[in-house]
Amino acid sequence: MEIFVLLLMVAAFGAYRLKSKTQARRIALLASHLGRYQVEKLMESLTEGYLRALGEKEPARQTQIWNMLATSEEQLVEQFRRFTADFSAVDLADARVSKLPVFLPEADRFFPDNTFDMRKALTIHAQGIARAANNEKGRPARDKAFTLSAELFLMQHTCHWYCRSKAIASARMLARHQTPYQQLLKSVDPETREAYLAMIGR
């Protein structure tokens, strides 16, 4: 019995080490590409700007803020497009993301049919972000900001999913933005939602 318990402890420790190593490698890989661009800085700037615009009571001042944010939106679209093109050079083996809700070491390699391609995911997000920022649907400024924020948060969720797991990504989204994963899916552009759900097989 003691040997069995010891073997379980050794196996658990080995799995933990492999999990930590795999996650660290993925975080480093994503950061090495993302760090070349100002995506995160622009996201933060836009999120704060949207809140400032929505809290402004004077219409003229609010319009001025919306107009100022348009430049940041254009920059974000271009920066994210370049990041996506850069990440597309990553090997498929490093781009696979397990669809399992929790992280299991090497699940993406042992069960490749139960994965999605992070490169494809980023392309879907890039297209969705561009559609929302360009306001192809002619939404009012408030609705445009809401949709673009949802597109950005869903992209952020995918990045956390790639680095950790779907469960961790959803928990972080709820803690940081008070937004459940399912609410994000309902809030993005219909074209994004359709492509995203087809990718993850739902």
pLDDT in tens, 42-73: 999 999 999 999 998 898 999 999 999 999 99
- Domain containing residue 42: 2-200
Rounded to an integer, what distance in angstroms lies between the CA atom of residue 119 and that of residue 151?
16
Asked if the model's pLDDT at residue 8 lies above 50, the reply is no
For range 97-106, the mean pLDDT: 76
First vs last C-alpha separation in the chain: 44
Q: What is residue 113's predicted lDDT score, i.e. its pLDDT?
A: 83
Asked if the model's pLDDT at residue 22 lies above 80, the reply is no
Q: What is residue 194's predicted lDDT score, i.e. its pLDDT?
A: 97
Domain count, the chain: 1
Asked if the model's pLDDT at residue 79 lies above 70, the reply is yes
Q: Give the mean pLDDT of the chain.
A: 88
Rounded to an integer, what distance in angstroms lies between the CA atom of residue 109 and that of residue 130?
32
Indicate the angle between helix axes 59-87 and 118-134, nearest 10 degrees. Answer: 160
Q: What is residue 15's predicted lDDT score, i.e. its pLDDT?
A: 45
CB 18 within 8 A of CB 105: yes
Give the angle 94-98-101 at the CA atoms, nearest 5°: 145
The conformation of residue 105, written as its DSSP 8-state character, comes to: T
Asked if the model's pLDDT at residue 109 lies above 90, the reply is no
Mean pLDDT is lowest, of 16-20, 111-115, 134-138, 158-162, for 16-20
What is the three-state SS of 158-187? HHHHHHCCHHHHHHHHHHHHCCCHHHHHHH
* Cross-strand partners of 98: 115
